[in-house]
Amino acid sequence: MATLPASTVLRPALAVRPGPGDDEDLADLLQRSAGADRHAFTRLYDATAPRVLGLAIRVLRDHAQAEEVVQDTYLHAWTHAARFDPARGTAIAWLLMIVHGRAVGRVRSAEARRRREAGFEQLTAPTRAAGDATSEAAVEVLEASRLRTALGTLSPGQQEALGLAYDVGLSHAEVAARLGLPLGTVKARIRSGLRRLALVLA
């Protein structure tokens, strides 16, 4: 795998030594780098890294990510220096075009990832809500089934008294009047029925 000359990896881009700034000098250094001239490439890095890093930071607004993109840019420049054509532009413009493309690509990749995550959240939210509703409905059905089973263990008199009191909403006195029974008998049936339900459901 291609690697950068050690001198360009170890020095931070903003702490490089001053180098040549003339466009012709930079083009010459880049063309010499195409011949694997490590010294020329180090001088090219020293002269251009501050501007390259500055552009990466402006696009990414994150120094750590910008430094990674700068390293990628110079690795590309080192391995593809022969592609530089001075007739089509300056060496610094070529480097800035590379770093800009990589920085924008990273921004777009991060935005696409955020959109995918947001879309996944939107898609799964209704599913989760539907799942919760389904679970609650299932619990209600099971509870209703258990209650029906428990009611089946009561005597007909207990079932009738409890049905009028809790399903219809009658008072104990109204239940007694409806059934034509003494109030004490109705209260006893309701109490014993509730105790029986509690035992069965427990």
pLDDT tens track for 141-191: 566 667 677 777 888 888 888 778 777 777 888 888 888 889 889 888 888
Mean pLDDT estimate for the chain: 79
What's residue 176's pLDDT?
A: 87
Lowest mean pLDDT among 67-71, 121-125, 132-136: 132-136
| pTM score over 0.75 | no
Q: Is the pLDDT of residue 70 over 90?
A: yes
pLDDT at 14 over 50: no
At residue 29, the pLDDT reads 92
Q: What is the pLDDT of residue 3?
A: 61
Contact status, residue 81 vs residue 31, Cβ threshold 8 Å: yes
On the question of pLDDT at 45 being above 90, the answer is yes
Count the neighbouring beta carbons within 10 Å of the beta carbon of residue 201.
11
Question: Regarding predicted confidence, which is higher, 116 or 108?
Answer: 108
Give all domains of the chain, ordered by start, each with its CATH number: 6-115 (1.10.1740.10), 152-201 (1.10.10.10)
**What's the CA gap between 161 and 175, in Å, rounded?**
7
Contact between 52 and 96 (Cβ < 8 Å): yes
DSSP 55: H
